[in-house]
Chains A and B, each alone.
Chain A
Amino acid sequence: MRAFCLFFVLLLAGPVAARSVTDSAGRVVEIPDEVHTVFAAGPTAAVLTYILKPDTLPGWPRALRPSERPYIAAPYRDLPETGRLTGRGGEANLERVLSIEPDLIIDFGSVRDTYVDLADRVQEQTGIPYILVDGRFEATPEALRLVGDILGVPVRGETLAADVEETFARIDALLSEIPEEDRPRVYLARGPDGLETGMKGSINTEIIERAGGRNVADDGGATRGLVNASMEQVIVANPDTIVTWDDNYYAKVFDDPMWAGIDAVQRGRVYLSPVEPFGWIDRPPSLNRMIGLIWMAGLLYPEEWTSDLRDDTRAFYSLYYHVDLDEDELDRLLEWTDGRPR
């Protein structure tokens, strides 16, 4: 009943104070002039929304874990769980979405036809405007500007977009000096045995190439996305740098005889990515990758990329996540980002 009323309210209120925006998929969507509440369709959109205008976020797709709480500003770390709304409606009930009464649904990620369809359906069914935002790494500045504009914080959107563009430009300037064959060979080790990885071109490893690494899991573009690798393939690929965010894997990699012969392990170049509150590499692949990118550029090009990760991290968490980290929190976050002496 409530949903029904809401539908009529939206129908009546909609045309009065509304404007049209064009989302990343080229859909023209009518949205209210002032957006107070945004339902984030998934974790990537939640991160984006939180960064731009946390007040509009009614909840997290997954409630924060205790270890993640210090890295999100106080009022927002207690937001409830709302579930995801991806792929055939996901597990967030549409009625629950309606009961939250969002002005807008935002999805940040793929803008392919399936998602366009899903957005159109949900929009038609609920009467809530549904915005699709392109989640590719390269499209990050546009995403920030688009959503900043939609949420009524265009200045913040512009500031962050400029910040992202500056980081991209710094890396591009650095990489223009370094030919492809001289770039580090990086392996992303996922899963407790480190044998799950992302093929070159997948969204999970986009950050490696963006930071100027060569993803050793490369079959010439035949496969994209996550795959199982075998130890033998890792040995043949012999990466000189390994990044992971699995602490089970990180705990054993230096003692495991199978990994002992890998260049990266012999040189002590295995790094554990922070995951709080969101993973620095992917998991989810959202704005959180910006600090991961800075970190990885420093790992891959220590001579050329001379900035202090501690300062960068403090600045990033303050500017993007609205939280000022104390020394303890920074220590905990950055514990293994420099690798570990063997």
Chain B
Amino acid sequence: MDGRAPEVGTTPRDRVARFPGTTLIGVLVALVCVTAFAAIMIGPFALSPGEVLATLVGRGDAQSTIVVWKIRLPRVAAALLVGAALAAAGASYQALFRNPLVSPDILGVSAGAGLGAVAGIFLSLPVAAIQGSAFVGGMVAVGVVMLVASAVQGTDRTLSLVLIGVVIGALAGAATSLLKIMADPYDQLPAITFWLLGSLAATTSDDILPALPLVLLGLVPLWVLRWRINVLSLGDEEARSLGIDAGRTRFLVIAAATLVTASVTALAGVVGWVGLVIPHIARMLAGPAFGRLLPTSVLIGALYLLVVDTAARTLAAAEIPLGILTAVIGAPFFVWLLARGRRGWS
């Protein structure tokens, strides 16, 4: 499906391990569909497959209709959206920074979004405003990183970006901590804690509708720029020799990936590890060429978060925060990836 994109950065081993592109995508799409239908059926409110189908065609009773249409469908959609977005952003950042240890929050987007949301909770704003301030916080944090990086004029652009990202992220984290100790320990602090662990428990279609176009707005440039991202992953020298303005491309990719991450973080809270781990799995299956890596990451990310979120809402009587599950699954898996000694990179 990416016949025109040159295969750069591939090793013979990658070529052997790789599935044919269209087959892989097809299998993943089918898996996502089946899992999504299963996720719509599963939940504390018991519904048989027949009842779910009846509800989906508009013949269910009132309460089942609410459960399926207002609760599970938005939640399934949100899980797919969040997983896809975080994985896509992770894949983009990893290619951009030529580093497999990079995740979407490397430039401080999660820390900024967290600060925004915590400020919203601290001011006792309604949910939509909390999400809005989370989004703004994420975008502002990365904006500040890029501004500072362009002012600093380091010799290694990428390195100074990452370092300033760490700095701004730490500052935002400190401000978040300050708000936490100032917050009312009996009402705001628990809300802040839950938000910082990520959850889709309260997701409604009203939350998804603003996030969806923003995510698409970010994914489209990433797809359009796939060839340039490939070239950029070889290094600035190579990019320049191929006539690509590395600085501008980098700016566009960062802006797009940040938009994507900030949108879904505003929706779901801080969900770690997805953007770090999923691109690795995708790279093992599809190889590093970004034209294949991006759709594969998107689909695997969506599938992964859907499974995790279904577990989060069914495993225990109380919701398990998403960030806890993704870390518990992601961290050991990442160690395993490292131990295998095969990074699927360079």
Residues of chain A having any CB pair with chain B under 8 Å: 42-43, 62, 84, 91, 190-193, 195-196, 199, 204, 217-219, 222-223, 226-233, 235-236, 245-246, 248, 252, 257-258, 260-261, 279, 282-285
Contact = CB atoms under 8 A, between A and B. Distances in A.
Ranked nearest first, the 9 interchain pairs of A and B with the lowest CB-CB distance are: A219-B317, A227-B318, A283-B186, A228-B319, A193-B202, A230-B201, A226-B190, A236-B44, A248-B126
Contact of B43 (A193, A226, A232, A252): A232
Interface in B55-78: 62-63, 66-67, 70-72, 75
Describe A's contact surface by its main secondary structure.
Answer: loop
Interface string B307-346: 0000001001111010000000000000000000000000
Query: Which of B67, B71, B201 has the most C-beta atoms of chain A within 10 angstroms of its own C-beta?
Result: B201
Contacts of A233: 44, 317, 319
B126 A235 contact: no
B190 A195 contact: no
A230 B71 contact: yes
B110 interface: no
Contact of B190 (A196, A223, A261): A196
Contacts of A231: 70-71, 201-202
28 contacts: A43-B185, A43-B186, A62-B184, A91-B181, A190-B187, A192-B124, A192-B126, A196-B191, A217-B317, A219-B317, A219-B318, A227-B319, A228-B199, A228-B202, A228-B318, A229-B318, A230-B313, A231-B70, A232-B44, A232-B71, A232-B313, A235-B45, A235-B67, A236-B45, A248-B124, A257-B70, A258-B66, A279-B186
A285 B125 CA distance: 24
A261 B45 CA distance: 13
Interface in B150-206: 181, 184-187, 190-191, 194, 199, 201-202, 204
A261 B66 CA distance: 8
B185 A223 contact: no
A204 B130 CA distance: 24
Interface of B: 43-45, 62-63, 66-67, 70-72, 75, 124-127, 130, 181, 184-187, 190-191, 194, 199, 201-202, 204, 313, 316-319, 321
A72 to B, nearest CB: 17
A217 B318 CA distance: 8
Nearest to A61: B185
Contacts of A235: 45, 63, 66-67, 71
Given A230-B201, A235-B63, A257-B66, 17 more contacts: A43-B185, A191-B190, A193-B127, A196-B191, A196-B194, A199-B317, A223-B316, A228-B194, A229-B319, A232-B71, A232-B72, A233-B319, A248-B125, A258-B70, A258-B71, A261-B63, A283-B184
Contacts of A232: 43-45, 67, 71-72, 313
Contacts of B316: 219, 222-223
Nearest to A193: B202
Contacts of B63: 235, 261
Query: Which of A91, A230, A236, A257 has the most C-beta atoms of chain B within 10 angstroms of its own C-beta?
Result: A230
Query: Which of B66, B186, B194 has the most C-beta atoms of chain A within 10 angstroms of its own C-beta?
Result: B186
B186 A282 contact: yes
Nearest to A83: B181
A230 B186 contact: no
B317 A222 contact: yes
A110 B190 CA distance: 18
A222 B63 CA distance: 28
A258 to B, nearest CB: 5
Contacts of A204: 186
Nearest to A246: B187
A216 to B, nearest CB: 11
A167 to B, nearest CB: 22
A230 B200 CA distance: 8
B335 to A, nearest CB: 28
A235 B62 CA distance: 12
A287 to B, nearest CB: 15
A84 B43 contact: no
Contacts of A258: 66, 70-71, 204
Contacts of A43: 185-186
Query: Which of A199, A217, A228 has the most C-beta atoms of chain B within 10 angstroms of its own C-beta?
Result: A228
Contacts of A228: 194, 199, 201-202, 318-319, 321
B127 A192 contact: yes
B314 to A, nearest CB: 10
Contacts of A248: 124-127
Contacts of B62: 261
A281 B160 CA distance: 51
Contacts of A199: 317-318
Contacts of B321: 228
Nearest to A225: B190
Nearest to A190: B187
Contacts of A245: 187
Nearest to A203: B186
Nearest to B128: A192
A84 B71 contact: no
Nearest to B181: A91
A112 to B, nearest CB: 17
B187 A283 contact: yes
Given A229-B201, A248-B124, A258-B70, A223 B318 contact: yes
B130 A192 contact: yes
Nearest to A230: B201
Contacts of A230: 44, 71, 75, 201-202, 313, 319
